[in-house]
Chains A and B, each alone.
Chain A
Amino acid sequence: MRSSFRRLLRWYFVVPTGLVAVGLAIPLAYLVYRGLGAESSRVFELVLSVRNARLLANTVLLAAGVLLAATLLSFPMAWLTARTDLRPRRLFAVVGVVPLAVPGYVMAYVILGLTGSYGMIARLTAVDVPSVSGYWGALIALSIYTSPYLFLNLRAAMLQLDPALEEAARSLGYNSRQVLLRVTLPQLRPAFLAGALLVTLHVMGDFGVVSLMRFETFSYAIYLQFAAAYDRTYAALLALMLLAMTVVVLYVEVRLLRDVPLFRGGAVSRWAHAGAPLGRWRAAAASYAVLFTVVALVIPVATILTWTFSGSAVELNRLARPLWNAVTASGPAAFSAALLAVPIAYMSVRLSSRLTKGIERLAYVGYAIPPLALALAYIFFSLSAAPALYQTLGLLVTAYTLHFLAEAIGPVRSALYLAPRHVEEAARSLGRTPLRAFTAATLPLLRTGIVVSIAFVFLSALKELPLTILLSPPGFETLSINVWSYTSEAMFGSAGPYALTLIVLSAAFVALLLRHETSPAVGIQSGAD
């Protein structure tokens, strides 16, 4: 124990750990100071207001509604692609992940651009559909966008179910419906909880959708308070309340997962799932999958294309600047996240202990913190401690790095599990120092994992909205900012090219996710074990 602790004291472990810890702790401390530093009577007055109760109710209602709707969307898709003979299996499995290619705020744009008396439907068919916004608009956009997090977790769990358990229940006198309720669903609980956690964190952290739909949750209120009002104490308090809510959600998740055994008795049965024959339901199942694709991808792309080409001529050169800006912020963030991810993943895999697992979990804290709360913390920190950093690219890159670090750790960790331990020990016995043994023997084996990490963070940061809006330098246009600001002014034609570019980039993210099935979803799940 002591000797392995001494190994952790080397600079290449201490520095990255310190950077992550300090990078998260100090800004959060400023946020707390800013919020709770005011007179206590004022703090009470601000916290215990009717408005906050409404914000809380709105946030909870939205999270619950999205969770329910995303489950209803994803469960059938997961079941069809894991447990039935629906073919082609692989293609339909991709369909379940497709919604990730359309970021939530782009989906909000699509819904707003389709409905209402100026919407695409009204313009094309002369049928005046009511405008969809507010709670239902936010619910639809977020449910579609977040459903893949549940789909990925549920499908993976369904594929791993031991068919012998279901057969045992059948031979003990249960019919197929009872088997589903008593044996199959209880076993899917951990996977459902992991997916549900991600969905909930996304809804609580979401800013783009709720702001475009004008539905007041904590995130949206934080932004309004910060951007429009002068009372920054109240903004800080709102951010702290959102953080507290996140902590509660994480706590509930841990409690619910505590009693769930992940054990399987003996070897996995040799009798693999053949897939239940769909029979006369095949057409219905296939149409569900097709409809899912139409709603999640075809309608969004078609709507955006129609808006884009219905107005004035598209000026592609207008894309160049925001794209370049986005790259200058996302690129460095991606590289620094990968650079931090390697030592942190290495500690957690090769020097596994409570301490190193805790350090790894720190990265997931950064992922779970609602982005607006994180952004606000950085703003307060830079304004009071380091004014020179305020509204600089460096601060934005730092925030991206710490927020998306969890996505970078997953692929590196998987690669480390696959890399044989002994090559590094061989290098040591051939006279290399620990660091040189690592770079000579193990690092080459991690190359693909590191590239995937960089790509994940790069693409995620490109799509990121709330951190970008609050932390970017003045006048800094990115794809996400432009989609959001044009859409919020109902300039759907102008937002179109940016939205399309974002869909293409997000599709690349999805492709990467499918090739290397270490999604942040899986990362969070295994990081919490």
Chain B
Amino acid sequence: MPPILTVTALEKRFSAHGHPVVDRLSFEVQQGEILALLGASGCGKTTILRLIAGLERPDAGEVRLNGAVIAGPGVHVPPEKRAVGLVFQDYALFPHLNVAENVAFGLHTIPPDERRKRCDRVVKMLGLNGYEKRRPEQLSGGQQQRVALARTLATAPDVILLDEPFSNLDALLRQTTRQEIRDILKKAGMTAILVTHDQEEALSFADRVAVIWNGQIEQVGTPEEVYYEPRTLFVAQFLGRTNLLLSMAYGDRAETPLGTVSLNRPASGNVLLSLRPEHLTLEPGGSTGTAGTVVEKEFRGHDATFRVKVNGSDYLVHMHSRTDFEPGDAVSVRALQPAVVLEKRIPGA
């Protein structure tokens, strides 16, 4: 099946000679898929959304929706003519309209009967029934968030763009809302692009994650792929804590400061390896593995992170919190999984 949205060599700069904010960016989104664009603030991810929505014009490259060019050389379909819905980070609810009027706002071209029906359906779908007559200021943050989503869903766009949609919610609400909204989007079969700086959000919400750095995609893949098999140093570090090992590789094995470990792919010579803390384990001193000393224990509820000193360097090991090692204990460190070989590439080059 052809992708519903195709972005090809997209480029955008805000000053004539400055570094491009979006730099020859290409990706595809399949029908019904949720793609997360994950990156630090200022990496250009919101600009990508605005380019797709038509609120900015690209300097080069093109955007195709259902095969038709909507942005490209000499082509700029205005935002209102694109079947692309945008949910703003600050919701952008119309303060002078109530919930029902906000939700029906994008349905101005369809007959009133049909409009009411669609509005009702979306309001129910998002659990906003009973709140139709309220003004945005009379709603909680989570409710405002859902009105913003309902307003966009009501127009049944081909692609829905979500700009940091959960960042204005508090931590507790964020998790539940995230799950609810993912369910709603999936049930409606919506294609969505989510922009976020929160790796946990990207990993739990999206079907695929594109890690953005300096306006370019560093890596794109399923959450498991980008987390467990980061291709670059940036991706490895951005998606969570990791142990970096400067090693000498011989085919599918490498000599590392933590002893000999197997590799996820063959390599040779000097390589940088990444081993997530949960891929290491500790055993009592003297067991097979590399000898070290526990320096610190960070208790985190159901699990614990240990800082272990091996030959003068510190490594992180993530284990069940019942493991009763204490600072000062002699331990052996062992890799449970193959280490990930990171690409030799100077970031941004």
Contacts and interface: CB of A to CB of B under 8 A. Distances in A.
Interface centre among A172, A261, A263, A264 (most CB of B within 10 A): A172
B92 A162 contact: yes
A92 B104 CA distance: 39
A267 B90 contact: yes
Interface string B86-99: 10111111111000
Interface stretch (A77-85, A163-171, A279-287, A322-330): A163-171
Given A267-B168, A268-B90, A171 B95 contact: no
Interface string A258-290: 001111111111010000000000000000000
B80 A260 contact: no
A173 B110 CA distance: 12
Contact of A165 (B54, B55, B92, B135): B92
B155 A266 contact: no
A279 to B, nearest CB: 15
Given A164-B92, A167-B55, A268-B90, A263 B137 contact: yes
Interface centre among B55, B89, B109, B137 (most CB of A within 10 A): B55
A59 B78 CA distance: 48
B215 interface: no
Nearest to A187: B96
A312 interface: no
Contacts of A173: 80-81, 106, 108-109, 155
A170 B88 contact: no
Contacts of B85: 171-172
B105 A172 contact: yes
A162 B88 CA distance: 12
B151 A175 contact: no
Interface in B84-132: 84-86, 88-96, 105-106, 108-109
Interface string A170-191: 1111110010001100110100
Interface residues of A, number: 29
Interface string B155-174: 10000000000001000000
Contacts of B55: 167, 170-171
Contacts of B92: 162, 164-165, 167-168, 265, 269
B79 interface: yes
Contact of B135 (A164, A183, A186, A261): A261
A115 B78 CA distance: 51
B199 interface: no
A132 B93 CA distance: 49
Interface string B60-89: 000000000000000000111110111011
A172 B95 contact: no
Contact of B106 (A172, A187, A260): A172
Chain B interface bracket (under 10, 10 to 19, 20 to 34, 35 or more) = 35 or more
Main secondary structure of the interface of A (DSSP, over half): loop
B79 A265 contact: no
A465 to B, nearest CB: 40
A269 B108 CA distance: 25
B191 interface: no
Contacts of A178: 108
Contacts of A168: 86, 88, 92, 94, 151
B277 interface: no
Interface centre among A167, A183, A265 (most CB of B within 10 A): A265
Contacts of A182: 105
A179 B109 CA distance: 14
Nearest to B139: A265
A263 B78 CA distance: 29
B144 interface: yes
Contacts of A264: 95
A165 B102 CA distance: 11
Given A171-B82, A173-B80, A266-B91, 11 more contacts: A162-B90, A165-B92, A168-B92, A169-B105, A171-B54, A172-B80, A175-B80, A262-B95, A266-B89, A266-B141, A266-B144
Interface of A: 162, 164-165, 167-175, 178, 182-183, 186-187, 189, 260-269, 271
29 contacts: A162-B90, A162-B92, A165-B94, A167-B53, A167-B88, A169-B94, A169-B105, A170-B54, A170-B55, A171-B79, A171-B80, A171-B86, A171-B152, A172-B80, A172-B106, A173-B80, A173-B81, A173-B109, A178-B108, A182-B105, A261-B136, A263-B135, A265-B90, A265-B91, A265-B92, A265-B93, A266-B141, A266-B144, A266-B168
